[in-house]
Homo-oligomer: A and B are copies of this chain.
Amino acid sequence: MHRICLLLALCGGAHLAHAQTLISQDDLDIAAQLRDRALNSDMAYQLLESLTVEVGPRMAGTPGDAAGVAWAKKTFEALDYDQVALEPVTFPLWRRGAESAEVTAPYPQPLAVTALGFSPGTGPQGVEAKVVHFGTLHELAQIEDGSLNGEIVFISNQMERTKTGEGYGPAVVARRDGSTVTAAKGGSAVMIRSVGTDNNRTPHTGTMRVEPGQAAVPAAALSNPDADLLVAMLERGDVTVKLSLDVGIDGEGLSHNVIGDIKGSDKADEFVIIGGHLDSWDLGTGAVDDGFGVAITMAAGRFIAEHAPRPPSRTIRVVAWANEEQGLWGAKAYYEAHKDQLEKHLVGAESDFGAGRVWAFASRVNKAALPVIGQIHSVLEPLGIELGNNAAFGGADVLPLRAAGMPVVSLYQDGSDYFDYHHTANDTLDKVDPEVMRQNFAAWVAFTWLAANYPGTFSPAPVIE
């Protein structure tokens, strides 16, 4: 390809070099029509309302999760998906019972606390000990192994608020590894400042990591105001806390990926795979994380089937993923079950970053297909969406497929307030703005139609270091 052609192609204009495999003008026009119609549709919001009201919390392996699976199956069927399948997913079953914490000396006060997923319990007596304060996990990691004497470790660093969520990574390490590192140092339990950006007394849960046979201590998150309080107490001197967590792993859990297919016409055995994760944490109703993504993508398949002038060329596969929260168990199960069809998966994407406006469209495709990404972006641009780079994340549940080579895209959302609600009791429907949801919905409808009808390939996708 001549440089000038490439430049033209990158500009995303309608008149591109004929040597290039591109999306047809007809499909671009249909996508624009679908986009504009979707902007006036509350179908996605109505699905989310149904899921949160009629099911609510859906922690993996709980009755609520099973109700979510039944809801997704029934809803795919009600939306006239051509095929609906349940795919079993198993995982360690973690349960949450009563949980509490209190300062017992010198300033007795209750603390708002929640256990981290996979935390062991404290036993009915709880753990009562002096608190040792570390600014970061790194500071804790640097002390000598075995040098603590049964103290409760407190890690106080706070997540930074950003649009992209980049504050999450530096903060979440304490949640992930605080328990096992504390065990190695000789502590009896760990409390972290919630990985979140709000100032509500609604602590943020989330998984911790523990390998089979690895020592771990009970682990919990304090709300930001409670972490502030504890910091202020520790500035005055010694503080003793009692932590009681009736939680733990209790056998094996069972859930299901729920898969709905809108059948393609000429390339029915090839897929564009989109979705959200059906499980949530137990504290809220999982509206923002990730009922939003489930509803957007379930509605997108139906909306295309109902309103496009003809069926899509490829099959649109919508997956309501099982147990994302506790370690991508549904994503791994899907990969195991479908790895022999990997090359049939043209491109994948998940909506799982809250309920904010989509502000960028990024890809992870073969460079030769970037002009096609430009074409898709040209239909998304009127929604206020920038063109991103070619190093898209894709979404947590497409990571196993991405690692095996599947191209992905991301419709990046503004995450400025996502970590106010993420993994808390405050993750409820009222946090979702229906107008912003329509913008997301329109973007997913347009992208999905275009990808399903693009005659070429996005493979091989680049390996990103």
Contacts and interface: CB of A to CB of B under 8 A. Distances in A.
Contacts of A110: 56-57
A428 to B, nearest CB: 4
Interface in A407-437: 424-426, 428-431
Interface in A104-138: 107-110, 112
Contacts of A232: 49, 53
A202 B202 CA distance: 8
Contacts of A228: 428-430
A196 to B, nearest CB: 13
B199 A430 contact: yes
Contacts of A201: 202, 284, 424-426, 428
Contacts of A108: 56, 63-64, 67
A55 interface: yes
Contacts of A424: 201
Contacts of A49: 232
Interface string A48-90: 0100111111000001100100000000000000000000000
A221 to B, nearest CB: 15
A284 B201 CA distance: 9
B229 A285 contact: yes
Contact of A229 (B107, B224, B428): B428
A112 B425 contact: yes
A53 B431 contact: no
Contacts of A224: 430
Interface in A23-38: none
A225 interface: yes
Interface in A214-259: 224-225, 228-229, 232-233, 236
The bracket for how many chain A residues form the interface is 35 or more
Contact of A54 (B107, B285, B428, B429): B107
A269 to B, nearest CB: 38
Nearest to A226: B428
A229 B52 contact: yes
A21 interface: no
A48 B220 CA distance: 28
Contacts of A202: 200-202
Interface in A171-207: 199-202
A231 to B, nearest CB: 10
A112 B201 CA distance: 13
Nearest to A110: B57
A109 B51 CA distance: 12
A63 B425 CA distance: 29
A238 to B, nearest CB: 14
A95 to B, nearest CB: 14
A225 B107 contact: no
Given A201-B202, A201-B284, A284-B201, A428 B107 contact: no
B109 A56 contact: yes
Contacts of A109: 56-57, 64, 285
18 contacts: A49-B232, A53-B236, A54-B236, A55-B107, A56-B110, A56-B229, A57-B110, A63-B108, A109-B285, A199-B430, A199-B431, A200-B426, A201-B424, A201-B425, A201-B428, A225-B426, A225-B428, A229-B428
Given A56-B107, A57-B109, A199-B426, 11 more contacts: A53-B107, A53-B232, A56-B109, A56-B229, A57-B110, A200-B202, A201-B202, A201-B426, A225-B429, A228-B428, A228-B429
